[in-house]
A and B are shown apart, each in its own frame.
Chain A
Amino acid sequence: MSDANADIEVAKLAFEREKHEFEKTWKRRTYVWTILSALLTAGITLTIAFFAGGGPKPLNLAVGPVENCLISLKRTESLSQLPDQDIENLARAVQVHVGNCESLLETLVSDLK
Protein backbone atom coordinates (compact mmCIF):
# COMPACT_ATOMS: atom_id res chain seq x y z
CA MET A 1 0.00 0.00 0.00
CA SER A 2 2.80 2.33 0.96
CA ASP A 3 4.56 1.54 -2.35
CA ALA A 4 1.46 2.56 -4.22
CA ASN A 5 1.28 5.81 -2.25
CA ALA A 6 4.93 6.48 -2.94
CA ASP A 7 4.39 5.95 -6.69
CA ILE A 8 1.50 8.37 -6.66
CA GLU A 9 3.62 10.95 -4.86
CA VAL A 10 6.43 10.54 -7.38
CA ALA A 11 3.97 10.89 -10.23
CA LYS A 12 2.48 14.01 -8.62
CA LEU A 13 5.93 15.51 -8.20
CA ALA A 14 6.82 14.72 -11.79
CA PHE A 15 3.57 16.32 -12.93
CA GLU A 16 4.24 19.41 -10.80
CA ARG A 17 7.78 19.65 -12.23
CA GLU A 18 6.46 19.38 -15.81
CA LYS A 19 3.80 21.96 -15.07
CA HIS A 20 6.43 24.29 -13.66
CA GLU A 21 8.69 23.79 -16.70
CA PHE A 22 5.76 24.40 -19.04
CA GLU A 23 4.84 27.64 -17.22
CA LYS A 24 8.48 28.78 -17.28
CA THR A 25 8.68 28.21 -21.04
CA TRP A 26 5.51 30.18 -21.73
CA LYS A 27 6.57 32.98 -19.39
CA ARG A 28 9.86 33.29 -21.33
CA ARG A 29 7.97 33.29 -24.65
CA THR A 30 5.65 35.99 -23.37
CA TYR A 31 8.65 38.16 -22.39
CA VAL A 32 10.27 37.64 -25.79
CA TRP A 33 7.05 38.52 -27.63
CA THR A 34 6.51 41.59 -25.46
CA ILE A 35 10.03 42.86 -26.20
CA LEU A 36 9.74 42.07 -29.92
CA SER A 37 6.38 43.78 -30.16
CA ALA A 38 7.73 46.89 -28.37
CA LEU A 39 10.69 46.99 -30.75
CA LEU A 40 8.42 46.56 -33.75
CA THR A 41 6.13 49.39 -32.57
CA ALA A 42 9.12 51.66 -31.98
CA GLY A 43 10.49 50.83 -35.45
CA ILE A 44 7.19 51.59 -37.19
CA THR A 45 6.77 54.84 -35.22
CA LEU A 46 10.27 56.02 -36.13
CA THR A 47 9.82 55.11 -39.81
CA ILE A 48 6.52 57.01 -40.05
CA ALA A 49 8.05 59.98 -38.24
CA PHE A 50 11.01 59.98 -40.66
CA PHE A 51 8.87 59.98 -43.77
CA ALA A 52 6.13 62.26 -42.48
CA GLY A 53 7.89 64.91 -40.52
CA GLY A 54 11.52 64.01 -40.10
CA GLY A 55 12.58 64.84 -43.68
CA PRO A 56 12.88 68.29 -45.20
CA LYS A 57 9.71 70.39 -45.18
CA PRO A 58 7.96 70.40 -48.59
CA LEU A 59 8.16 73.78 -50.34
CA ASN A 60 4.91 75.62 -50.75
CA LEU A 61 5.85 76.83 -54.26
CA ALA A 62 5.00 75.96 -57.84
CA VAL A 63 7.68 76.10 -60.53
CA GLY A 64 5.75 78.59 -62.73
CA PRO A 65 5.96 81.64 -60.44
CA VAL A 66 9.65 80.90 -59.74
CA GLU A 67 10.37 80.77 -63.49
CA ASN A 68 8.47 84.02 -63.98
CA CYS A 69 10.53 85.65 -61.26
CA LEU A 70 13.73 84.48 -62.93
CA ILE A 71 12.57 85.81 -66.32
CA SER A 72 11.64 89.10 -64.65
CA LEU A 73 15.18 89.35 -63.26
CA LYS A 74 16.70 88.67 -66.70
CA ARG A 75 14.34 91.20 -68.27
CA THR A 76 15.39 93.85 -65.78
CA GLU A 77 18.99 93.25 -66.76
CA SER A 78 18.10 93.57 -70.46
CA LEU A 79 16.25 96.82 -69.77
CA SER A 80 19.32 98.15 -68.01
CA GLN A 81 21.31 97.62 -71.23
CA LEU A 82 19.08 99.79 -73.44
CA PRO A 83 21.17 102.56 -75.04
CA ASP A 84 18.98 105.44 -73.93
CA GLN A 85 17.86 103.99 -70.62
CA ASP A 86 17.56 106.53 -67.80
CA ILE A 87 17.54 106.30 -64.02
CA GLU A 88 13.85 107.06 -63.70
CA ASN A 89 12.75 104.27 -66.05
CA LEU A 90 15.26 101.84 -64.60
CA ALA A 91 14.07 102.58 -61.07
CA ARG A 92 10.52 101.85 -62.20
CA ALA A 93 11.68 98.63 -63.90
CA VAL A 94 13.35 97.53 -60.67
CA GLN A 95 10.13 98.32 -58.82
CA VAL A 96 8.15 96.16 -61.27
CA HIS A 97 10.66 93.35 -60.78
CA VAL A 98 10.37 93.64 -57.00
CA GLY A 99 6.60 93.41 -57.41
CA ASN A 100 7.05 90.25 -59.49
CA CYS A 101 9.33 88.50 -57.04
CA GLU A 102 9.10 89.91 -53.51
CA SER A 103 6.20 87.90 -52.09
CA LEU A 104 7.44 84.73 -53.80
CA LEU A 105 10.91 85.06 -52.31
CA GLU A 106 9.46 85.82 -48.88
CA THR A 107 7.38 82.63 -49.10
CA LEU A 108 10.47 80.70 -50.16
CA VAL A 109 12.53 82.03 -47.25
CA SER A 110 9.81 81.29 -44.73
CA ASP A 111 9.39 77.76 -46.15
CA LEU A 112 13.12 77.11 -45.93
CA LYS A 113 13.39 78.26 -42.30
Chain B
Amino acid sequence: MSLLKFITKIAVLAGVAGSTFSGVFAEEANKTALTSIGGTATLDTGVDPDDPGIGGGFDQEAFFQNRYIPNLSICTEQIERIFLSWTEAKNLFLPRREASEDQILIHATSDTLDGIFELSYKIDAERMRARVTVFYLLKNGAALNPILIKPLLETWEIADLQDELDDALKCDNV
Protein backbone atom coordinates (compact mmCIF):
# COMPACT_ATOMS: atom_id res chain seq x y z
CA MET B 1 0.00 0.00 0.00
CA SER B 2 1.42 3.34 -0.98
CA LEU B 3 2.03 5.97 1.66
CA LEU B 4 -0.61 8.23 0.12
CA LYS B 5 -3.31 5.49 0.31
CA PHE B 6 -2.32 4.74 3.89
CA ILE B 7 -2.62 8.41 4.88
CA THR B 8 -5.99 8.68 3.09
CA LYS B 9 -7.31 5.61 4.96
CA ILE B 10 -6.17 6.99 8.31
CA ALA B 11 -7.85 10.32 7.52
CA VAL B 12 -11.13 8.61 6.56
CA LEU B 13 -11.07 6.43 9.69
CA ALA B 14 -10.37 9.48 11.84
CA GLY B 15 -13.28 11.30 10.21
CA VAL B 16 -15.72 8.44 10.82
CA ALA B 17 -14.50 8.03 14.40
CA GLY B 18 -14.87 11.77 14.92
CA SER B 19 -18.44 11.76 13.59
CA THR B 20 -19.37 8.75 15.71
CA PHE B 21 -17.75 10.29 18.75
CA SER B 22 -19.59 13.57 18.24
CA GLY B 23 -22.76 11.54 17.56
CA VAL B 24 -22.52 9.81 20.92
CA PHE B 25 -22.26 13.15 22.62
CA ALA B 26 -24.80 14.76 20.31
CA GLU B 27 -27.35 13.49 22.84
CA GLU B 28 -26.40 16.51 24.87
CA ALA B 29 -27.29 18.86 21.99
CA ASN B 30 -30.87 20.00 21.78
CA LYS B 31 -31.82 18.79 18.34
CA THR B 32 -30.55 18.15 14.83
CA ALA B 33 -31.76 20.42 12.07
CA LEU B 34 -32.68 18.91 8.69
CA THR B 35 -33.29 22.23 7.01
CA SER B 36 -33.32 25.83 8.16
CA ILE B 37 -34.07 29.02 6.25
CA GLY B 38 -33.53 32.43 7.79
CA GLY B 39 -34.80 35.70 6.40
CA THR B 40 -33.72 39.18 7.33
CA ALA B 41 -34.91 42.60 6.21
CA THR B 42 -31.78 44.44 7.28
CA LEU B 43 -28.14 43.52 7.09
CA ASP B 44 -27.26 44.52 10.64
CA THR B 45 -29.51 42.27 12.71
CA GLY B 46 -26.55 40.56 14.35
CA VAL B 47 -26.25 36.85 15.00
CA ASP B 48 -29.50 34.89 15.00
CA PRO B 49 -29.47 32.74 18.16
CA ASP B 50 -31.83 30.28 16.46
CA ASP B 51 -29.57 29.70 13.47
CA PRO B 52 -28.47 26.04 13.64
CA GLY B 53 -25.53 26.76 11.32
CA ILE B 54 -25.19 23.95 8.81
CA GLY B 55 -26.88 21.50 11.14
CA GLY B 56 -26.30 18.06 9.66
CA GLY B 57 -22.84 18.79 8.31
CA PHE B 58 -21.10 20.07 5.22
CA ASP B 59 -22.69 17.41 2.96
CA GLN B 60 -26.08 18.94 3.62
CA GLU B 61 -24.98 22.56 3.49
CA ALA B 62 -27.54 23.38 0.76
CA PHE B 63 -30.35 22.68 3.24
CA PHE B 64 -29.32 25.70 5.32
CA GLN B 65 -29.90 29.12 3.81
CA ASN B 66 -30.02 32.73 4.94
CA ARG B 67 -31.90 35.13 2.73
CA TYR B 68 -32.24 38.88 2.43
CA ILE B 69 -35.97 39.60 2.29
CA PRO B 70 -36.49 43.39 2.14
CA ASN B 71 -40.26 43.21 2.68
CA LEU B 72 -40.18 40.56 5.39
CA SER B 73 -43.64 40.03 6.83
CA ILE B 74 -45.56 37.60 9.01
CA CYS B 75 -46.20 34.43 7.00
CA THR B 76 -47.41 32.17 9.79
CA GLU B 77 -50.42 30.91 7.84
CA GLN B 78 -48.39 30.11 4.74
CA ILE B 79 -45.67 28.24 6.66
CA GLU B 80 -48.24 26.26 8.65
CA ARG B 81 -50.22 25.36 5.53
CA ILE B 82 -47.11 24.11 3.70
CA PHE B 83 -45.93 21.98 6.59
CA LEU B 84 -49.38 20.55 7.26
CA SER B 85 -49.84 19.57 3.63
CA TRP B 86 -46.43 17.83 3.76
CA THR B 87 -47.38 15.92 6.93
CA GLU B 88 -50.65 14.92 5.30
CA ALA B 89 -48.90 13.69 2.15
CA LYS B 90 -46.49 11.69 4.29
CA ASN B 91 -49.23 10.24 6.52
CA LEU B 92 -47.81 11.75 9.68
CA PHE B 93 -49.84 12.47 12.78
CA LEU B 94 -49.33 15.52 14.97
CA PRO B 95 -48.83 15.10 18.72
CA ARG B 96 -48.62 18.88 18.97
CA ARG B 97 -49.75 21.70 16.73
CA GLU B 98 -49.76 25.28 17.93
CA ALA B 99 -49.47 28.60 16.18
CA SER B 100 -49.62 32.17 17.34
CA GLU B 101 -49.27 35.27 15.22
CA ASP B 102 -45.47 35.19 15.20
CA GLN B 103 -44.58 31.61 16.10
CA ILE B 104 -45.35 28.02 15.11
CA LEU B 105 -44.45 24.77 16.83
CA ILE B 106 -45.56 21.50 15.26
CA HIS B 107 -44.49 17.97 16.12
CA ALA B 108 -45.13 15.28 13.54
CA THR B 109 -44.41 11.57 13.54
CA SER B 110 -45.63 8.20 12.30
CA ASP B 111 -45.80 4.64 13.59
CA THR B 112 -42.77 3.69 11.53
CA LEU B 113 -40.53 6.54 12.72
CA ASP B 114 -38.06 6.27 15.58
CA GLY B 115 -38.50 9.94 16.46
CA ILE B 116 -40.37 13.14 15.65
CA PHE B 117 -40.09 16.02 13.20
CA GLU B 118 -40.30 19.44 14.81
CA LEU B 119 -41.23 22.50 12.78
CA SER B 120 -40.26 25.79 14.33
CA TYR B 121 -41.12 29.17 12.83
CA LYS B 122 -40.42 32.44 14.54
CA ILE B 123 -40.58 36.02 13.33
CA ASP B 124 -38.94 38.78 15.31
CA ALA B 125 -40.52 41.98 14.01
CA GLU B 126 -38.30 44.18 16.15
CA ARG B 127 -35.08 42.75 14.74
CA MET B 128 -36.73 42.22 11.35
CA ARG B 129 -35.78 38.58 11.00
CA ALA B 130 -37.59 35.27 10.67
CA ARG B 131 -36.56 31.64 10.61
CA VAL B 132 -38.18 28.36 9.76
CA THR B 133 -36.42 25.15 10.77
CA VAL B 134 -37.31 21.47 10.59
CA PHE B 135 -35.62 19.41 13.27
CA TYR B 136 -35.57 15.68 13.87
CA LEU B 137 -35.30 14.13 17.31
CA LEU B 138 -35.10 10.54 18.41
CA LYS B 139 -37.74 8.97 20.65
CA ASN B 140 -35.45 9.48 23.62
CA GLY B 141 -35.30 13.25 23.02
CA ALA B 142 -31.72 13.10 21.78
CA ALA B 143 -30.42 14.73 18.63
CA LEU B 144 -29.87 12.43 15.68
CA ASN B 145 -26.30 11.59 14.78
CA PRO B 146 -25.48 13.96 11.91
CA ILE B 147 -24.14 11.14 9.70
CA LEU B 148 -27.64 9.55 9.69
CA ILE B 149 -29.42 12.60 8.35
CA LYS B 150 -28.88 11.97 4.65
CA PRO B 151 -31.28 9.01 4.37
CA LEU B 152 -33.95 11.02 6.20
CA LEU B 153 -33.54 13.93 3.81
CA GLU B 154 -34.08 11.61 0.85
CA THR B 155 -36.85 9.41 2.25
CA TRP B 156 -38.93 12.33 3.45
CA GLU B 157 -38.19 14.56 0.45
CA ILE B 158 -36.95 17.38 2.63
CA ALA B 159 -35.50 19.25 -0.37
CA ASP B 160 -38.99 19.75 -1.84
CA LEU B 161 -40.34 20.79 1.54
CA GLN B 162 -37.43 23.23 1.87
CA ASP B 163 -38.26 24.86 -1.49
CA GLU B 164 -41.87 25.35 -0.44
CA LEU B 165 -40.93 26.67 3.00
CA ASP B 166 -38.49 29.02 1.31
CA ASP B 167 -41.33 30.53 -0.73
CA ALA B 168 -43.64 30.55 2.28
CA LEU B 169 -41.08 32.50 4.31
CA LYS B 170 -41.54 35.28 1.76
CA CYS B 171 -45.33 34.71 1.69
CA ASP B 172 -44.82 33.84 -2.00
CA ASN B 173 -46.75 31.43 -4.25
CA VAL B 174 -48.79 30.01 -1.41
Contacts and interface: CB of A to CB of B under 8 A. Distances in A.
Interface of A: 64, 68, 71-72, 74-79, 81-85, 88-90, 92-97, 99-100
Nearest to B96: A78
Contacts, number: 61
Interface in B38-61: 49-50
B95 A97 contact: no
Contacts of A68: 30
Interface of B: 27-28, 30, 49-50, 95-96, 98, 105, 107, 109, 111, 116, 118, 120, 137-142
Contacts of B50: 64
B95 A81 contact: yes
B140 A89 contact: yes
B141 A83 contact: no
A75 B43 CA distance: 33
Contacts of A77: 95-96
Contact of A96 (B105, B120, B141): B141
Contact of B96 (A74, A85, A89): A74
Query: What 7 pairs between A and B have smallest CB-CB spacing?
Result: A93-B141, A92-B140, A96-B141, A78-B95, A78-B107, A89-B140, A81-B95
